[in-house]
Amino acid sequence: GSSILAGRRGLIMGLANNRSIAWGIAKAARAAGAELAFTYQGEALEKRVRPLAKELDGLVVGHCDVTDSASIDAVFAEVARAWGKLDFIVHCIAFSDKDELTGRYIDTSEENFTRSLAISCYSFTAVAQRAETLMTDGGSMLTLTYYGAEKWMPHYNVMGVAKAALEASVRYLAADLGEKGIRVNAISAGPIKTLAASGIGDFRYILRWNELNAPLRRTVTIEEVGESAAFLLSPMSRGVTGEILHVDAGYHVVGMKNPAAPDI
């Protein structure tokens, strides 16, 4: 295969299991020659992340819960100790109380709003702050977003608002870090059945709707998201920053239901 990430070192945050988008990205980055480090959130996920990291000859740099800034500092200190520098980071982290990923957005509580925005949006900025100092030869930062940031989607609710803020933060971070040769981008992935997605109401219907209406007439895989991510992490995309790249089988260009699709 290609080796567009040969000699590059990157930190992957948000791996939960082998269905995670972070896993698709890690596999593609490794296949492209990158050396990887991983964080995990809590002991239960540590048991899943360690063997997966090992499969890719990766380093596990420790527990990181983005609501605890000391744990963010600790994993970046470990990256600094092990590698001294960093070429890319991948942020695949989002959270909302499941009870608010169904029904009406208007019913969102202030507590869940604040928590969801902190975990799903601010954490990328918090991570960028730490990564900046380690990206001494420039770098690439990547986060994951969804079309629910741009348009209303049933049940996505507060997460849509958080993703809109995340996409805006990609643009602001890109402007802040550009002069250091650090690029900041997001992938807007189509719906994929992961642990996080299982919290969203009627998710099977959303998958089916995308299959019937996306230009490619299917949904996307974590491997496809991973290969597009490898491009954004690599010098092949060196002229690209502040971008939201849709890896969604083209769904975002569709304005109306496909008239040939069956009713579901």
User: What are the residues whose beta carbons fall under 8 Å from the beta carbon of 205, sequence distance 6 or more?
Assistant: 264
Closest to 17 in 3D by CA, of 37, 45, 56? 45
Residue 41 among known ligand-binding residues = yes
Q: Is 146 a catalytic residue?
A: yes
Shortest Å distance, C-beta 135 to ligand NAD: 21
**Rounded distance, CA 251 to CA 264, Å?**
17
Q: Which is nearer to ligand NAD, 168 or 195 (CB)?
A: 195
Kindly state whether residue 77 participates in binding ligand NAD, applying the rule CB under 6 A: no
DSSP lists the bridge partners of residue 139 as 182
Kindly state whether residue 195 participates in binding ligand NAD, applying the rule CB under 6 A: yes
Shortest Å distance, C-beta 69 to ligand NAD: 11
Helices (H), 179-245: 203-213, 222-233
Binding ligand NAD (rule: CB under 6 A), the pick from 10, 14, 139, 226 is 14
Pairs from 109-115 (Cβ < 8 Å, separation ≥ 24): 112/158, 113/158, 113/161, 115/67
Kindly state whether residue 194 participates in binding ligand NAD, applying the rule CB under 6 A: yes
| Residue type (1 letter), 2 | S
Q: Is 172 a catalytic residue?
A: no
In the region spanning residues 106 to 135, those forming contacts with ligand NAD, defined by CB under 6 A, are 119
Q: Which is nearer to ligand NAD, 5 or 229 (CB)?
A: 229
Binding ligand NAD (rule: CB under 6 A), the pick from 196, 214, 229, 233 is 196
Buried b (16+ CB within 10 A) or exposed e, 151-185: eebebbbbbbbbbebbbebbeebbeebeeeebbbb
Residue 196 among known ligand-binding residues = yes
Kindly state whether residue 230 participates in binding ligand NAD, applying the rule CB under 6 A: no
| Residue type (1 letter), 13 | M
Q: Which residues bind ligand NAD (CB under 6 A)?
A: 14-16, 20-22, 41, 45, 64-67, 92-95, 119, 144-146, 189, 191-192, 194-197
Show which residues are catalytic.
Answer: 146, 156
Write out the binding residues for NAD(+).
Answer: 14, 20-21, 41, 65-66, 93, 163, 192-196
